[in-house]
């Protein structure tokens, strides 16, 4: 079975550019989570969706970050404009609504120059 | 908010040794999860615990949900080189909905 799929795996961009990260959750999972991982701050939850509806976006750093989930099989995390401090690994995870067990994708390593 | 303290931060052991790491919380958790992360990959779920006092094994891994519901430990027996990685605990509280709180991680190095 396919796990959580993320693209791209690596992204290098220049400050001020728009960045879009993509995620396909495990089929049948109805909760989706976006995390950011850095050495300094560890794993931080940015936002999560239940049944395609954003439930908690309190972890989104600022208005430059936005996330959408137009359907059960696709989500995007957009950063516009990007800044060097946004450099991190961004993970998407999914789970069943009734379960605590979250399954992570391989991550997108973002570097903003 | 909820906080998780994970210790130790890092461990350097010889192949064949047993390993123990733990997490403590400032508040009660309903669920404890243990993940392992290899370099360049996402965290992989190892063990999930749902009841206070629960002891669960997965091969050479054993984890327990503390009786107070504020702590959990993970043991690895007879370590092998492929156990190298970062181990994270994660907990879900009574009022956190689907949100997990993650520990800071334990970096494990196994010398052959």
Query: What number is the average pLDDT over the span B33-44?
Result: 96
Mean pLDDT, chain B, rounded, equals 94
Give the residue from B94, B100, B104 with the most A CB atoms within 10 Å of its CB, the best one to mutate. Answer: B100
Q: Quick check: B102 and A97 CB within 8 A?
A: no
Q: Quick check: B48 and A101 CB within 8 A?
A: yes
Answer yes or no: is pLDDT of A1 > 80. no
> B1 pLDDT band (50/70/90 cuts)?
low
List pLDDT tens digits, range B52-81: 999 999 999 999 999 999 999 999 999 999
Q: Quick check: B45 and A102 CB within 8 A?
A: yes
B1 or A19: which carries more pLDDT confidence?
A19
Nearest CA in chain B to A32: B98
Q: How far apart are CA A101 and CA B45, in angstroms?
A: 8
- Which pLDDT value is given to residue A62? 86
Q: Quick check: B102 and A93 CB within 8 A?
A: no
List pLDDT tens digits, range A52-106: 999 999 999 889 999 999 999 999 999 999 999 999 999 999 999 878 899 999 9
The CB density around residue A90, as the number of other CB atoms within 10 Å, is: 22
Nearest CA in chain A to B88: A43
User: Cβ neighbours of residue B90 under 8 Å, at least 6 residues apart?
Assistant: A102, B4, B32, B33, B34, B35, B100, B101, B102, B103
């Amino acid at each position: 079975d396919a796990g959580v799929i993320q693209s791209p795996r690596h992204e290098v961009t220049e400050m001020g550019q728009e960045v879009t990260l993509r995620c396909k959750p495990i089929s049948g999972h109805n909760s989706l989570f976006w995390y950011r991982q850095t050495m300094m701050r560890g794993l931080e939850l940015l936002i999560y969706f239940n049944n395609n509806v954003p439930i908690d976006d309190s972890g989104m750093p600022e208005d430059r970050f936005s996330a959408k989930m137009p359907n059960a099989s696709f989500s995007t995390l957009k950063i516009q404009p990007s800044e060097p401090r946004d450099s991190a690994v961004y993970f998407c995870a999914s789970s069943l609504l009734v379960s605590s067990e979250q399954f992570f994708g391989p991550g997108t390593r973002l570097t903003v120059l | 908010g909820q906080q998780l303290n994970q210790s130790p931060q890092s461990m350097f052991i010889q192949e064949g040794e047993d390993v123990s790491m733990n997490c403590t919380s400032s508040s009660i958790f309903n669920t404890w999860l243990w993940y392992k992360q290899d370099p360049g990959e996402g965290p992989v779920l190892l063990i999930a615990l749902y009841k206070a006092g629960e002891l669960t094994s997965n091969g050479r891994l054993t984890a327990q949900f503390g009786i107070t519901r504020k702590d959990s430990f993970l043991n690895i027996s007879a370590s092998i080189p492929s156990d190298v990685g970062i181990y994270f605990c994660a907990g879900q509280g009574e009022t956190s909905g689907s949100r997990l709180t993650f520990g800071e991680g334990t970096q494990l190095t196994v010398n052959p």
